[in-house]
Amino acid sequence: MINNCYTRSAAYYETDQMGIVHHTNHIRYYEEARVDFMHKIGCDVKELEQNGIYIPNIDAYAKYKKPIKFSDKFYVEVRLAQFNGTKMHYEYTVRLCENDEIASTGYTTHCFVDDDFKPFNLKKKFPVYYNRLAESVT
């Protein structure tokens, strides 16, 4: 089973005047976790791009529950919730390591496009990547 958690600490530059991680960084954490997850299942994003597969974000959402402060250690649980070969939908939960409290929840949705940003079905053009993603849906 693939470890679907991504762990890191909040950097000083990610905080705002109130001393907490700026809300926009949660979306970045989701992306870091998704890229890490994809690497673990054999769909490395850099490798995909070298093969002419790009995965733009077409939707993103975050709900903030508890602030993350400078140097707080946290982890992101990532789950590939939906995948049909043309789009994939990830869900995330960010938790503070100290007490396991939820800092945020959210999701992102992505599609597959070629070098010309024309959408395509991964199953038809790249069945190996399609199968790796399809097997990772939970």
User: Active-site residues: which are they?
Assistant: 16
CA distances from 28 to 21, 46, 105, 126 (A): 11, 17, 13, 27
Q: Which residues, in sequence order, are CB contacts of 39 under 8 Å at separation 6+?
A: 45
Rounded to the nearest 5 degrees, what angle is found at the Cα of 54, between the Cα atoms of 60 and 126?
Answer: 120
- Whether the Cβ atoms of residue 35 and residue 57 lie closer than 8 Å to each other: no
